[in-house]
Structure 1
Amino acid sequence: MCGAEFKALPEGVQRVAAALQAHGHPHMPRMLDDAARTAQQAADVLGILVGQVAKSIIFRRKSDDAAVLVITSGDRRVDEKKVEAHVGKIGRADAGFVKERTGFSIGGVSPIAHATPPVTLIDQELLRFEVVWAAAGHPHGVFPLHPTDLERLTGAPVVDVVQEVSA
C-alpha cells in the first residue's frame, strides 16, 4: 500500500492500517457491508466461530485512571478479579472514556493504534485458534491475524483473564 488507499477509510481505520503497515503485518483492514459491533455480529458477517473474534474490552484503572485493554476471545467473559490481579482495581469505562482514551467508539475498538497507549492484557483462550479477527477502529472495520501477532503488535502478556467455562 502506498498510502492513497487509506484516504477512503474512516480515520480510526486509517490509524489501524498505518500501525499494521508499520509493523509489517501482512493483512490490512477490511471494511464490511454490515456492522460488527458485537462478537456475534462479527462472527455472523465473517462466517467464523464467535470465539475467533478478538474482542477489545476497556476498563478504567481506579488508582490512576488509566485505560486497561483486555483482548479476549468472543465466546468468553472477562473475570474482573483476574484482571485486577494483574493491573490493580478496575471499574467500568463509559463510552466517553473509551473514545477519549482509545480514539475509537465502542463497537470498533481495535487492539492497536490507541490515542493513549493502554495497559493491555491478552486472554490465553485466543491461542485456541489459528486465525482471529479484530476490530479495526470502526464498527465496519476488521482485520485478521494469528493470536500470537497480538503479542508482537501490543507488547502485552498472554494471561488467564476469563471466567471458567462450565462443561
Structure 2
Amino acid sequence: MIKLKEFEEKLKEYIIENNIDAEQHIYENTCHTVEEAASAANASPKDIVKSICLIGNEGNLIVAIVGGNDRVSTSRVAKALNIEIPKIATPEEILNKTGYICGGVPSFGYEGIFLIDPKVMENEFVYTGGGSPYSLTKISAKVLQQINKGQIVRIRK
C-alpha cells in the first residue's frame, strides 16, 4: 500500500533543503481535479496549474505546465523542443520519473525538461501538486520557473 504521507514529506523536505519560498497545504479532501483543488485552496481555477508528464522519444521526462482550465498540445510541445510528438506518461512512468504518484505531482523537485505556458506566468502565485492527491503547494510563478529552469513557451491548445 502506498503511503501518501511519505510523498508529502518528501516534497516538504525538498522545499526546506532547497530553501524554496513555497507553502505546502494538506487537505481532508482530494485535490485531484482542478475544481477540487480550487475549492480546497479557496482559489480560482486559473490559479491552479497542472503538470502534464510526457515521455519524449528518447524516454526522457517532459513536464508541460499549463493553467488549470487549459489542455496541453503535444504537437506544440514537440515543436518547442524540435522532437517527435511525445506520449502521455502512464501512472507507473510518472512515479518512476518524478518520484510522485499521479494526482499529486508538483511542478518541481525532480529531473525533467520543464515547459511553462505563458498564461501560467500571468499569475503572481499558483497552486501545484503537493506530493499527494490531498495536497497542494502555493508558489510564486516566477520562483517556480527559476527552480525548475522552465522554458516559457506556448504549449496550451
TM-score by length of 1: 0.84
Mapping 1:84-123, distance limit 5 Å: 84-87=78-81, 88-89=83-84, 90-114=86-110, 117-123=111-117
Number of aligned residue pairs: give it: 152
Which of structure 1's runs of 4+ aligned residues deviate more than 4 A? none
Query: How far 1:155 moved relative to its partner?
Result: 1.1
Query: Contact 1:23 / 1:153 at 8 angstroms: preserved in 2?
Result: no
Name the counterpart of 1:83: 77
User: For residues 22 and 86 of structure 1, what CA distance do their matches in structure 2 show?
Assistant: 32
User: For residues 26 and 154 of structure 1, what CA distance do their matches in structure 2 show?
Assistant: 13
Deviation track 1:90-133 (CA, whole Å, cap 9, x = no partner) reads 0121111111111111110111223xx11111111112222211
User: For residues 23 and 104 of structure 2, what CA distance do their matches in structure 1 show?
Assistant: 15
Name the counterpart of 1:160: 154
Name the counterpart of 2:13: 18
Name the counterpart of 1:45: 40
Query: How far 1:37 moved relative to its partner?
Result: 0.8
The unaligned stretches of length 5 or more in structure 2 are: none
User: For residues 113 and 132 of structure 1, what CA distance do their matches in structure 2 show?
Assistant: 16
**AA partner of residue 123 (structure 1):** D
Query: Contact 2:23 / 2:139 at 8 angstroms: preserved in 1?
Result: no
User: For residues 112 and 120 of structure 1, what CA distance do their matches in structure 2 show?
Assistant: 8
User: For residues 52 and 154 of structure 2, what CA distance do their matches in structure 1 show?
Assistant: 15
TM-score by length of 2: 0.89
* Seq. identity, %: 18
Deviation track 1:2-39 (CA, whole Å, cap 9, x = no partner) reads xxxxxxx8222222222222332233311111110122
The unaligned stretches of length 5 or more in structure 1 are: 1-8
SS in 1 for 2:72: coil
Query: Contact 1:120 / 1:154 at 8 angstroms: preserved in 2?
Result: yes
**AA partner of residue 123 (structure 2):** F
**AA partner of residue 54 (structure 1):** V
RMSD: 1.5
